[in-house]
Amino acid sequence: MMQTKLQTGQRVRHPEFGEGVVVAVAADGTVRAFFVSGERQVFPTSLVPALTRAEQIIANVQGGAERLRHAWLHLEAYALPLMDNAAALTSAPIDLLPHQVVLTHQVATAAPRRFLVADEVGLGKTIETALILRELASRGELTRALMVVPAGLVNNWHRELNEVFNLDFEVFGTEGDVTDRKSNAFAKHDRLIASVDTLKRPARIKRLKDAPTWDLVVFDEAHHLSAYRNVRKVRKTENYKLAEALRDHARDLLLLSATPHQGDHFRFWMLIQLLDPTLFKSPEEMVEERHRLNAVVYRRTKADACTPDGAPLFTRRWVHTSSSA
């Protein structure tokens, strides 16, 4: 375990929380670090240095000047697009927060990219989604993307993605930029925003399947992708059937919801099935082995969020009560 003095900003790894960044070293010797699951206070002896890509490559290179030269060239080739990536993340006129950058990195470097982002309301799931879109595009891994959102949020998403992040999305629908009256719009347009109600019609699902696969499909308010169990029969809503069709017609899939569970283990299990049908055999196994949800679910609360300098992002509320005589 780590013996050297820790520095703010240092990348570390914890056996339970995974990779993170040191936020501060407390006077009592403990360390505040920001992990994917949020900010945690841990003992320094539980941390080890997180090797950078360069350190991993160098650690696995042995002997020979020529091999070292090739390793260095590979490292340089890998690092070049990162210059653009950093600019892509920060060129939008917003102040990025640590939990947003961490999520973008985790999703962009994962394989496969199929996750439920369940951050609490107010932590910026729209911004996180836009950052992921820009990051994948800057890596040359995103050409076709489809945003499926509630009808009332179509214009909000269109404004955020285009005016703030310059992602050039078009709205699909009778009153949008694109329609499918004369041809298959899903085959001709690569970046679309559409309401779930517009897409869930059987004719539209068929056109979606006839078009090329999507690099990324995003469902906002994913708790509306519902499936119910009555005795032994499962009833899938039209929303859920749409998600199933697009799951099989997309490389990457993101589900966004601040309230994905809805107090129903079966419905939540069916939502997880969209991401990885092999993760749990049943809702009962999911509850028993719920720690495995970390493989596909990101959930951060306001208590986990902090500013770039490590200060709490949201002020804690304290309620004081007093009794009257």
Q: Which domains does the chain have, with CATH numbers?
A: 11-49 (no CATH), 53-86 (no CATH), 97-298 (3.40.50.10810)
DSSP assigned state of 314:
S
User: For residues 114 and 275, is the Cβ–Cβ distance under 8 A?
Assistant: yes
User: For residues 221 and 149, is the Cβ–Cβ distance under 8 A?
Assistant: yes
Q: Which of 13, 98, 102 is nearest to 298 (CA)?
A: 102
User: For residues 247 and 285, is the Cβ–Cβ distance under 8 A?
Assistant: no
Burial profile 237-266: b = 16 or more Cβ within 10 angstroms, e = fewer: ebbbebbbbbbebbbbbbbbbbebeeebbe
Residues of the chain with pLDDT under 70: 1-4, 52-64, 74-93, 175-176, 308-309, 315-325
Question: Which pLDDT belongs to residue 82?
Answer: 45
Question: Which pLDDT belongs to residue 75?
Answer: 65
Burial of 13 (0-12, 13-18, 19+ CB in 10 A): middle
Identity of residue 237: T
User: For residues 304 and 296, is the Cβ–Cβ distance under 8 A?
Assistant: no
Q: How many CB atoms are located within 10 Å of the residue 226 CB?
A: 18
Pairing mode, if any, of strands 214-219 and 191-195? unpaired
What digits encode the pLDDT tens for the residues 152-172?
999 999 999 998 888 999 999
CA distances, 223 to each of 81, 129, 266 (Å): 36, 17, 12
- Residue reference for tokens 């040359």: 140
CA 275 – CA 68 distance, rounded (Å):
40
Q: Which of 140, 158, 157, 145 is nearest to 88 (CA)?
A: 140
Q: Which of 256, 268, 266, 181 is nearest to 217 (CA)?
A: 256
Q: Please, how many CA atoms are within 13 Å of residue 173, restricted to the half-sphere of its CB?
A: 21
Q: Which of 138, 47, 54 is nearest to 89 (CA)?
A: 138
Question: Which pLDDT belongs to residue 86?
Answer: 46
Q: Spell out the residues 6+ positions from residue 120 whose beta carbon is closer than 8 angstroms to its own.
A: 258, 299, 300, 301, 302
Q: Which of 35, 79, 34, 36 is nearest to 56 (CA)?
A: 79
Rounded to two decimals, what is the model's pTM? 0.70
Tokens in use for 13? 């790894």
SS3 276: coil
